[in-house]
Each structure stands twice: as C-alpha cells, then as structure tokens.
Chains A and B, each alone.
Chain A
Amino acid sequence: MGREDTDTLIEQLAGELHPVRAMRFREGLGWLSLALTVTLAMVLVWLGIRSDVMAGHLSPLFLISQGLFLILGLAAGTTTLVMANPNVGNRHDGWKWALAMGMLLPAAAIIIAIVNMAHQPAFYIPEHDIYCLVHGLGFGALTAVVLTFWLRRGAPASPEQAGLLAGIASGALGVFAYAFSCAFDSIYHVGFWHAIPVAIAGTIGRLVIPPLIRW
C-alpha cells in the first residue's frame, strides 16, 4: 500500500462519515449512576433493607465500610469512564489511593484476628459468608456491563488496566448495594467476605474485559 492508497482510503472514510455523538464524561457518569441506582433498587426489592438500617440505628462499621466501598467503586468507575477517551497526558492513578483505603478493612480484620487468635475468631461462617460473596459479585454485574459497553464505544489505550478497574468498580458497587441487606457487622465478615468479591471481580475484569474492548 502506498500514498495513493492512503488518499483512496481517506475518500472512502470521508464518504462513510455520519454525524457522531461525542462520548462525554458526564454521560458516562449518568450511566454509572443509573446502574448503581437500579442495582440498589434490585437489592431493596429482592432482599429488603436490614432492620437496623430501616430503624435508623446505623453501626459505625456499617457506615465506614459502606463509605469505603462507595468511594472505591466511584473512583475506579470514574477512572474507567475517563480511560475510554484516550489522551496523551492522562493520569489514572487516583483509584490506587481509594483501593489503599479499601484495603484498611481486610487489614483491620487480619490484625484483629491475629490479636484474638487465642479466642478462635470466626473467619468463616458457611451459612452467610459465601452467600454474601456470591451476592456481592452478582449485584456488580450491571455495573460491569455498563462499563464494558462504555469502554467498547471508546478507545481505551490500556485495555488491561481498564478491565481491571471496571471489575473493581463493579465488585465494590455490587458489595455496597448488597450490604444494605446484609445483617452481619463483624469485622471478619465485612473485612474478608465483603472485600473478597471486589478482588474476584477485579480479577475477572482483568481477564475477561480486555479481549472485549481491544481495538
């Protein structure tokens, strides 16, 4: 192929042009917010809100953990949205601080477990731990679908990182929504079993999403 072919290609591409709606961050944020709202509504309709939250008795652990998951989900989610618009000079590092904050929960659980090792802390209670893990992952699915479609429309220059972040955002927002119905406030439960779905979702996103968004 030579320069003449380039001119022919240009005429061909110009002939195919149709008006294009630019991908704006605000529109992506709107879709992300809608996905979170629908996910919250699904949790409320299917599982209901935990009784203490309904009664207005909010535990400190519930508030702190929910705040951390929401911040992590929004930080990873908005970074994913930004990554769809490539630009030399973009920085995508803010989510790392949110992830570091989110890691406080499992870190606290590990420290408390070590301190209380003599009392045989309850790391795993089969009847509800796996249940939370599965629900946290499941309720993140809608966010994952929305972010994957957004990335497919865009041109992420780092598909692997975009996939990882979309996964982390989906897991964190899924756990955030599901936790409104989860009645367990133990640091072991929240620190391990609400954090593990985020790690699993991040891994799935890193492995599954890049082939879908590579361009």
Chain B
Amino acid sequence: MIADEASLSRLMALSRKGDKQAYSVLLKECSHWLRRYFARRVPPHQLDDLVQETLMSLHRKLASHDPSRPFLPWLAAIARYRWVDHLRSIYRAEETALDHEIPIDSDEEQVAARLSLDRLFASLPPAQARVIELVKIEGHSIAEAAKSCGQSEPLVKVNIHRGLKKLAALIEKAE
C-alpha cells in the first residue's frame, strides 16, 4: 500500500522543517510510487536507475514544492521531466520486456491515471509515439523500428526528435 496524498503532504511538511525520519519515510514512499509510475514505460533493468535519479532530483529541488498545492502532481512533474530526459539519453537497450503486472490500488487509480506517463504519451501523434516506444523504450534499432512501422529510417529519426521535443513541452500540461 502506498501512502495517499494527505500522508505524503504531511511527510513533506515535516521534511521541509528538517525532520530526517519523516523525510526517509517520504523518500521510501516516493520510491515505491515511482517504481510503479515508471514500470510500464521503462525496461526493468533501467527502472532502479531512473527511480534513483528522480529521488536525487526531488532532493535537490525540495524547495520547488509549493506547500499550498498537492504533493503528487509536483512529484509527477519531476518524474515526467526525468523520464523524458532519460528517453533522450538512452539508446539501444539489451532487455526489452516491460513489466505490465504491477497493480494499482483502487483508491489511487484516479490520481495515478490523471498524472500518468500514459496520459503524457497519448498526447503525441501516433507515428511519433510508436517510434519512441519501439526505439527509446523497447530498445529496438532505428532500422528495426522503420521496418516494423513502415516509416523510412530518416523519418523514424525525425519523429523521435519531434516526439521527444513535444513530450518535454507537455510535461505539466498533459493530464
């Protein structure tokens, strides 16, 4: 069970005052939340790296959370930013199987769906989403992606470039 918005906000308020124990609990809850958040959009062998990078960003940018606003949309914005950055930086991966099995608790389904990476991804034109999924997430080569989706190799590259640019612009907007 992952903590809800109210508990996370309380932990964040204590952390802001320097309570190390509350902060440790907050980071643990965030790491669980992030693992599930990224699970279907990152190959398993990259998951821990991405979760840890996001936790470090959260730590460096703690001051950027406005206490008058909910915690999870802030965490989701940081997670999306790190995810897009991660997509930009990775190339061909060795393992490609994505974990579709991680369940979402019913009481958080609504919030998770609204903040999800899927929602961000769905804002892209299908041709761009498909090639990013094939090359940047599943780890196929440009040639394989071109063959699979019927686009020329230069077009695949252009679509990846444009799609990542658009994802970066939609980090906060797509909900």
Pairwise interchain contact A18-B18, C-beta atoms closer than 8 A:
yes
Residue among A19, A22, A157 making CB contact with B172, cutoff 8 Å: A157
Residue among B60, B67, B74 making CB contact with A87, cutoff 8 Å: B74
Q: How many residues of A contact B (CB 8 A)?
A: 39
CA gap between A158 and B49 in the complex, in Å:
22
Given contacts A6-B55, A22-B63, A155-B57, contact A88 B16 (CB under 8 A): no
Pairwise interchain contact A15-B63, C-beta atoms closer than 8 A:
no
Given contacts A87-B77, A88-B77, A155-B81, contact A215 B57 (CB under 8 A): yes
Pairwise interchain contact A20-B63, C-beta atoms closer than 8 A:
yes
Pairwise interchain contact B64-A14, C-beta atoms closer than 8 A:
no
Tell me, yes or no, whether B23 is within 8 Å of chain A by CB: yes
Pairwise interchain contact A87-B20, C-beta atoms closer than 8 A:
no
Residue among B23, B56, B115 making CB contact with A17, cutoff 8 Å: B23
CA gap between A16 and B61 in the complex, in Å:
13
Given contacts A86-B171, A88-B175, A91-B173, contact A19 B18 (CB under 8 A): yes
CA gap between A86 and B15 in the complex, in Å:
19
Pairwise interchain contact B23-A87, C-beta atoms closer than 8 A:
no
Given contacts A17-B18, A21-B63, A161-B169, contact A1 B23 (CB under 8 A): no
Given contacts A87-B73, A91-B173, A155-B61, contact A10 B48 (CB under 8 A): no
Tell me, yes or no, whether A50 is within 8 Å of chain B by CB: no
**Chain A residues closer than 8 Å to B31, beta-carbon distance:** 6, 10
Pairwise interchain contact A86-B74, C-beta atoms closer than 8 A:
yes
By DSSP majority rule, is chain B's interface helix, strand, loop, or mixed? Answer: helix
Q: Which of B82-140 contact A (CB under 8 A)?
A: 114-115
Tell me, yes or no, whether B8 is within 8 Å of chain A by CB: no
Pairwise interchain contact A6-B52, C-beta atoms closer than 8 A:
yes
One digit per residue, 1 when the CB lies within 8 angstroms of any chain A CB and 0 when it does not, for chain B 56-73 equals 110111111111110001
**Chain A residues closer than 8 Å to B76, beta-carbon distance:** 88
CA gap between A21 and B51 in the complex, in Å:
25
One digit per residue, 1 when the CB lies within 8 angstroms of any chain B CB and 0 when it does not, for chain A 67-98 equals 00000000000000000111111111000000
| A-B contact sample (6 more), CB < 8 A, given A22-B65, A160-B169 | A6-B55, A11-B24, A24-B66, A24-B67, A85-B66, A91-B172
- 28 CB < 8 A contacts A-B: A1-B52, A2-B48, A6-B52, A10-B27, A10-B28, A10-B55, A13-B27, A13-B59, A14-B23, A14-B24, A18-B18, A19-B16, A19-B17, A23-B66, A25-B66, A86-B77, A86-B78, A87-B73, A88-B77, A89-B172, A90-B173, A91-B172, A157-B171, A160-B168, A160-B169, A215-B57, A215-B60, A215-B61
- B residues within 8 Å of A by Cβ? 15-21, 23-24, 27-28, 31, 48-49, 51-52, 55-57, 59-69, 73-74, 76-78, 80-81, 114-115, 168-169, 171-175
- A residues within 8 Å of B by Cβ? 1-3, 5-7, 9-11, 13-25, 84-92, 153-155, 157-158, 160-161, 215
